[in-house]
Amino acid sequence: MGSFETHPDDPIDQCWDCIEAQDYQRAISAGEQAVRLYPNSHHAHLCLEKAYFFVGNFPKALEVFQKSEKLAKEELGLSYNLLGSVYSRMGDFDNALYYYQKALQIWKELGYKDGEARELGNIAGIYRDKRDIDKALEYLEESLKVETSEKDKARILNNIATVYADLRQYDEAISYLEKAIEISRRYGDHHNEGTVLLNLGAVYIEKGDYEKAKNHLDEGLQRVIDVGDKTTSLLQRNTTRRLMTFLRE
């Protein structure tokens, strides 16, 4: 019969053991060490908060609680995000939307702009899957406004372009893709540059401009090969074969 493995040297475990033994001063010592070692651990902060509470140091308990509450919300937001992703993969778009919206609310409450921008993009993806293109564009445009990282805006621009391509508004799609390529090049993000170049090539195929399509596909293929992305390079070769079929026709 197997035994449960404990970690007596872990300060989080030490803190909780001391709480159980009602040795609150040692719990505070272990808890303070725990939050130094694990500054993003909700459980470390929760134990320290309890230790301060039991010794009657309520101002310190409140201070630690506020940090603990924030970390708990972060964990909850990440859990909601994961649930949204699971339901999305299962094709249950209504539940995916529900949990992405709950995650979005938490990021807004915490003031996490990057998380907010990411969740807006996830919601846009669900609306695209539901064929509600207007809603998808609405959330993508909002995501672009909220995103604080200029480099990450390239990814959002690429996604907006994809929606316009769905609508067969190819010139609009090309405009967004070219902006995404410019940003990726400026930040040396060769993988994203390659991916966007491949998407640009695919749009030119739909437009019937096969010469430009081939140029962008070849350039994009080289970029993804250079960064070792075998999956994308394989998909691109399939696109190139499709292009060659058009050219032979």
Residue identified by tokens 């769905």 is: 166
Residue identified by tokens 């990814």 is: 155
User: In the numeric block, which tokens belong to residue 242?
Assistant: 């499709």
User: In the numeric block, which tokens belong to residue 202?
Assistant: 């695919």
**Least confident piece of the model among 16-20, 103-107, 125-129, 225-229:** 225-229
* The Cα angle at residue 156 between residues 152 and 159, in degrees rounded to 5: 145
84, 89, 95, 90: which is closest to 121 by C-alpha?
84
According to the model, what pLDDT value does residue 4 have? 27
Q: Which residue pairs, CB below 8 angstroms and at least 24 apart, start in 41-49?
A: 41/12, 41/71, 42/68, 42/71, 42/72, 42/74, 42/75, 43/12, 44/11, 44/12, 44/15, 45/71, 47/12, 47/15, 47/16, 47/19, 48/15
Task: Name 39's Cβ contacts closer than 8 Å, sequence gap at least 6.
Answer: none
What is the distance between the alpha carbons of residues 200 and 193, in angstroms, rounded to a whole number?
Answer: 10
- Residue range 192-219, pLDDT digits in tens: 999 999 999 999 999 989 889 989 988 8
What is the distance between the alpha carbons of residues 68 and 188, in angstroms, rounded to a whole number?
Answer: 38
- The structural domains of the chain, ordered by start, are 7-56 (no CATH), 73-147 (1.25.40.10), 165-249 (1.25.40.10)
Question: At residue 240, does pLDDT exceed 90?
Answer: no
According to the model, what pLDDT value does residue 225 have? 80
Cβ neighbourhood burial of 168 (10 Å; 0-12, 13-18, 19+)? exposed
> How many CA within 13 A on the CB side of residue 128?
20
Average pLDDT of 224-249? 58
Cα 32 off chain centre by: 31
The pTM (predicted TM-score) of the whole model is 0.73
Tell me what the pLDDT averaged over the chain comes to.
87
